[in-house]
Structure 1
Amino acid sequence: MQNWLYILLIVLVAYIVISVLLYFLQDYFLFKPEKLSKDFQFYYDNQEIEEYNIETRDGATINGLRFKAENPKGIVFYLKGNSKSIKGWGKFAVDFTRHGYDVIMVDYRGFGKSTGRRTQKAVKRDMQVVYNRLKEKVSEKYIVLYGRSMGSGFAAKLASMNNPRMLILDAPYYSLNKVAKKYIPFMPLSLLIKFPMPTHKWLKYVNCPIHIIHGTDDKLIPYKTSVKLSKIKPELTKLYTVIGGGHKNLNTFESYHKMLTEIITTRPQKVNLEGSSINVKHSSKRTNAKA
């Protein structure tokens, strides 16, 4: 009996130690920031850029870039993933500037030249500050929110609190709790995760068109996640499937660029269902045909 108690005690201590380590080290595992010196000079071939800094109320600095299009039709606020900095993510701005959209990218706290203590609440507040600055320049009907992976949650939150033209989610997650549970199902994640990022909850309050893009071979965030998310606001949502696409390579698929072009260049039109088969139901009863 004592041996069982001894083993149980060891397991309990190990469980507590792992929980504590997970709580304090999760920032290290969740974020992979690239630091940039204050005097770093951004440069992109064939792209006109403007660098800016925004001071937050708690003394942090949010660094960002504006990629300029000629005679812009609107602005894409691009919320990037959890790694590197806008130094590398900037190369994706061309997918929007070539269609006549300015692109705004910012580094989260602790990434690139941005500073400040990173918490879910602080980052959400920072992104709203940036969005407010955009609203001072243009009407919301010209603002497109694009969230990539980690950024999809923040983009969904912004869309739920504002009225942008549309929301585009690229490889989104249901919540980070769900993603983490896939790898450590035995831990009390609801108590430990500092960035739960409940995208599914925020989508319930989004009232603009929602476009979700996901690859069928995504090993990090399964494609079925987007199928599930698309059912939250089905009347506003369209799901785009990149056959064979993974988590980090959608931009290498021609189909992705066709989808993106369709999304940002096509104006939504109301479909006239009068005379369609929408109310026609198949009958399971066999009817005899008249001779």
Structure 2
Amino acid sequence: MNVDVYFILTVVTVAILAIGIFIYLFQHRFFFQPEKLPPDFKFAYEHLNAEEMSVSPESGATISYLHFHVDEPKGVVLYLKGNTKSIKGWGKFAIDFTRLNYEVIMMDYRGFGKSTGRRTSDAMKRDSQFIYNIAKKLFTEDKIIVYGRSLGSGFAARLASKNNPRLLILTSPLYSLQRTIQRYLPFMPAKPFLRYNLPTFHYLKNVRCPIKIIHGSDDRLVPINTAVDLSEINPQLTRLYVILRAGHIDVHQFEEYHRVMEEIFEERKVFIDAEKTSLSYSHRKD
């Protein structure tokens, strides 16, 4: 092998390893941007009845969550939030479901808000299942809706694949953390350096309930093609809603998002008589 080629390959290999080690050591700062709250912080929301709760799913870990109550609830939404801040700010989004007469349970991941414990993907998966089990004690599974937004979509999809909720809703979902890294570093073999494993696409293969995916057409952080790819994994159960002009963090600021939400929760089932539609028509036969 030519010495110059060998030298170039060596430099490239060393550079990739260096970047890989950097990704391994600091990916938690990219994936998780927590806001920590003092133990005496009081949650308060206008027009919402929030009850603060905490549980210890295992030794050395405490999970803080909010339970938003409504009178005569139709069911409960288990809300898995994004990767920033805490339920202090995310809690206000509960109104999108309480207005439809659904209670909401919203947890803080480890290291967020008042939650404590060593943060790993496996631990966070166990935590979300622990909270799901709490919801099952309050409501039958046919009244549980799992909602995941952004990073929370992975945890939500996993819960739906391991349990039997009525519905799974994903807003601005990630395909996987691996694809997220490779979007910015396409030359990197990201998988060997990943400490957090959250393959939304894999979990969707085993979901048995209806899947609703909501995504902004102008999302630059997680492009719309991500939602299209996810919608094709389990197409018989999936419907994709595109919110025109919406981005990643402002999708809820569009009226269409809330109209879509009402349609999803009303869950109108329409029978299609194939003989009275163009379902069987083909231009190729004409």
The equivalent residue for 1:289 is: none
For residue 275 of structure 2, give the secondary structure of its aligned residue in structure 1: coil
Q: Is contact 2:154–2:174 with CA below 8 Å preserved after alignment?
A: yes
The equivalent residue for 1:275 is: 275
Q: Distance in 2 between matches of 1:7 and 1:98?
A: 61
- Structure 1 stretches of at least 4 aligned residues deviating more than 6 Å after TM superposition: none
Query: What is the TM-score when the length of structure 1 is the normalising length?
Result: 0.93
Q: Is contact 2:177–2:199 with CA below 8 Å preserved after alignment?
A: yes
2:172 is the counterpart of 1:193: no
For residue 27 of structure 1, give the secondary structure of its aligned residue in structure 2: helix
How far off is 1:284 after superposition?
3.5
How far off is 1:20 after superposition?
1.1
Shift in CA distance, 103/10, structure 1 to aligned 2, threshold 3 Å: same
2:137 is the counterpart of 1:136: yes
Q: Which has the larger radius of gyration?
A: 1
Q: Distance in 2 between matches of 1:148 and 1:279?
A: 34
Q: Distance in 1 between matches of 2:202 and 2:7?
A: 43
How far off is 1:175 after superposition?
1.1
User: What is the aligned-residue RMSD (CA, Å)?
Assistant: 1.7
Q: Distance in 1 between matches of 2:39 and 2:279?
A: 62
How far off is 1:276 after superposition?
2.6
In structure 2, list runs of 5 or more residues that go unmatched.
none
Deviations along 1:46-99, one digit per CA (max 9) or x if unpaired, are 211101111022320000001111221111111000000000101111111111
Shift in CA distance, 283/184, structure 1 to aligned 2, threshold 3 Å: closer
Q: Percent identity?
A: 49
The one-letter code sitting in structure 2 at the alignment partner of 1:139 is T
Query: What is the TM-score when the length of structure 2 is the normalising length?
Result: 0.94
Deviations along 1:219-255, one digit per CA (max 9) or x if unpaired, are 0111111111111111111111100010000111011
Shift in CA distance, 53/276, structure 1 to aligned 2, threshold 3 Å: same
Aligned residues: 285
For residue 276 of structure 2, give the secondary structure of its aligned residue in structure 1: coil
Q: Is contact 2:36–2:86 with CA below 8 Å preserved after alignment?
A: yes
Which has the higher mean CA deviation after the structures are superposed, 28-37 or 272-281? 272-281
How far off is 1:27 after superposition?
0.5
Deviations along 1:113-151, one digit per CA (max 9) or x if unpaired, are 001111111101100000011111110111111100000
How far off is 1:268 after superposition?
4.2
The equivalent residue for 1:31 is: 32
Shift in CA distance, 258/270, structure 1 to aligned 2, threshold 3 Å: closer
Q: Distance in 2 between matches of 1:168 and 1:283?
A: 36
The equivalent residue for 2:91 is: 90
Deviations along 1:11-51, one digit per CA (max 9) or x if unpaired, are 43333222111101111111100011111111111211101
Q: Distance in 2 between matches of 1:58 and 1:175?
A: 29
In structure 1, list runs of 5 or more residues that go unmatched.
287-291
Matching of residues 1-291 of structure 1 within 5 Å: 8-264=9-265, 266-269=266-269, 271-277=271-277, 279-284=279-284
Q: Distance in 2 between matches of 1:162 and 1:78?
A: 15
Shift in CA distance, 229/3, structure 1 to aligned 2, threshold 3 Å: closer
Which has the higher mean CA deviation after the structures are superposed, 246-255 or 275-284? 275-284
Shift in CA distance, 211/13, structure 1 to aligned 2, threshold 3 Å: same
For residue 275 of structure 1, give the secondary structure of its aligned residue in structure 2: helix
Which has the higher mean CA deviation after the structures are superposed, 106-115 or 223-232? 223-232
